[in-house]
Amino acid sequence: MNLTPKQESFCLVYLETGNGSEAYRQAYQPKKMTEKSVNEKASQMLAMVKIKSRLEELRKPVREKALLTLESHLQRLEELSRASEAAEQYSAAITAETNRGKAAGLYVEKTELTGKDGGPLDHSITVSFK
């Protein structure tokens, strides 16, 4: 799979920014194109098989490293959990298991913001002059 230098640049900028239009602008430097045209060209680029393949190729090592890190983290927490349980330190074992679940994405922490006395948030702006 041979990409042109601009296509390679597009891929690298896309991975950095996550924005196809921005990647197209930086790689191709279109001076007279409308924003709509840039968006369409970026979409066409992202649909190209060789671009998709190159993006996957660039993401693979990062993804593998992240999985290995998560895998080793989960394994270490499991070891701590089992050691704590064997020592009859059940609170520590439960904490280790809870942390394993959080790391694996089994728990979702939600935060809800409310205004005074549980009411809606006040979105007004106060301007004061000195």
Q: What is the pLDDT of residues 90-109, one digit of tens each?
A: 999 899 888 888 888 887 77
pLDDT digits (tens, 9 = 90+) for 48-98: 999 999 999 999 888 877 666 778 878 888 998 899 999 999 999 899 888
Q: Are residues 67 and 98 in the same domain?
A: yes
Does 65 share its domain with 43? no
Higher pLDDT, 16 or 1: 16
Residue 130 pLDDT > 70, yes or no? no
pTM: 0.52
For residues 101 and 83, what is the distance between their CA atoms, to the nearest angstrom? Answer: 17
- Report yes or no on 114 lying in a domain: no
- The sign one gets for the Cα dihedral 8, 13, 15, 21 is negative
d(CA 93, CA 75): 14
**CA dist., res. 42 & res. 6, Å (int):** 12
Q: Domain check: are 4 and 40 in the same one?
A: yes
3 state SS of 122: coil
In a domain, 32, yes or no: yes
Residue 37 lies in a domain: yes
Indicate the number of domains in the chain: 2
pLDDT over 70 for what percent of the chain? 92
- Does residue 69 share a domain with residue 27? no
Q: Whole domain around residue 6: which residue ranges?
A: 1-47
